[in-house]
Amino acid sequence: MPKWIAKPFARPYVAGETFDEALVQVKTINDHGFSATIDILGEHVTNIDKARSITNQYCDLYRQIDINQLDCNISIKPTHVGLFISLAEAMANIASILESAKNYNNFLRLDMENSLYTDQTFELFKHCKSTYKNVGVVIQSYLHRSLEDAKQLSAIDFNARICKGIYQEAETIAFQGSEEIKENFMTLARALSAKGAYAGYATHDQDLIDQLLAWIESENIPPDKFEFQVLYGVPMAGRLEELRNQGYKIRVYVPFGPDWFDYSLRRLKENPDIVGYVIKNMFKNE
């Protein structure tokens, strides 16, 4: 699909290509009573200068968030800031981003990519955590290993986003069925809660949200120990407002940047109905 054709369909999922566009969307999200996490789109950077340029952009993002007094933190993909080049390059660049997070008393999340980088991402996380407490990571519920990872990482102030996982992985290391993945998601939620960790439940699956709510209510899970997380632009049929009105914290993951194309194709594959919405809006009568 050419970019000029894809752009109208991508627009609902991407908060613009520039800092200014993205920060306007974060402000709107905050005004609706939701928190935000911002992410510059891109991954698997092979050029050191580009990895360092992205690093500098993330450092400046913390400054912009602070200047604009936004309820927003940052999530980064390690291969976007050097892990595809080397662990040492990623370590150095993430250390710079972490210093900016410290300076502005903000939070940094290390996103999780495909399984080739899982161990290195956890190594980066542990290194970050040794110097600054406001750091989190991602646990993917489709990986067989995730429960053991969660148990090993669940120390004081552990903060994890639980998501299902989007990368193609072999059945030897990952659950393939949707029900198995959801069941493991719930297992991870229970395990993190038992360790006193903070969890972000990142899902658009309404049935899974229902399961989480039933468990939260039955076990009286403190509301300051979790939040619900969703992707910017994914239709939720009023569920976010409903959860907000019930007193639950909601965080919207806001991606932006010039590298929007591949990300948008993944979102379109997950939610092909958006094509119909866009076409209908393009040709509706004035």
Residue 9 resides in a domain: no
CATH number assigned to the domain comprising residue 164: 3.20.20.220
Are the beta carbons of 164 and 196 closer than 8 angstroms? no
Question: Do residues 126 and 160 lie in contact, with contact meaning Cβ atoms separated by under 8 Å?
Answer: no
Question: What is the pLDDT at residue 61?
Answer: 98
Residue at 268 is within a domain = no
The answer to whether position 283 is within a domain reads: no
In the annotation, is 224 catalytic? Answer: no
User: pLDDT in tens for each of the 286 residues of the chain?
Assistant: 555 455 555 667 788 889 999 999 999 999 999 999 999 999 999 999 999 999 999 999 999 999 999 999 999 999 999 999 999 999 999 999 999 999 999 999 999 999 999 999 999 999 999 999 999 999 999 999 999 999 999 877 899 999 999 888 999 999 999 999 999 999 999 999 999 999 999 999 999 999 999 999 999 999 999 999 999 988 899 999 999 999 999 999 999 998 766 666 655 565 555 444 444 443 343 3
Of the listed 39, 109, 149, 161, which one is catalytic? 161
Q: Which domain holds residue 134?
A: 17-259
What are the DSSP calls for 59-90, one per residue? HHHHHHHHHTT-SEEEEE-GGGGTTTT-HHHH
Our answer to whether residue 111 is catalytic in this structure is yes
Q: What is the pTM of this model?
A: 0.89
Number of domains in the chain: 1
Straight-line distance from the first to the last Cα atom of the chain, in angstroms, rounded to the nearest whole number: 28
Closest CA relative to residue 77, chosen from 56, 55, 99, 60: 55
Long-range contacts formed by 124-132: CB under 8 A, 24+ apart: 124/78, 124/83, 124/87, 124/90, 124/91, 124/94, 125/153, 127/91, 128/94, 128/95, 128/98, 131/95, 131/98, 132/98, 132/101, 132/102, 132/108
Q: Which two tokens stand for residue 243?
A: 């959860």
Residue 258, CA atoms < 13 Å, CB-side half-sphere: 2
Residue 7 lies in a domain: no
Instruction: State both tokens at 273.
Output: 């109905």
In a domain, 236, yes or no: yes
Confidence (pLDDT) at 193 = 96
Does the residue 286 lie in any domain? no
Considering 39, 109, 111, 267, which one is annotated as catalytic? Answer: 111
The size of the chain, in residues, is: 286
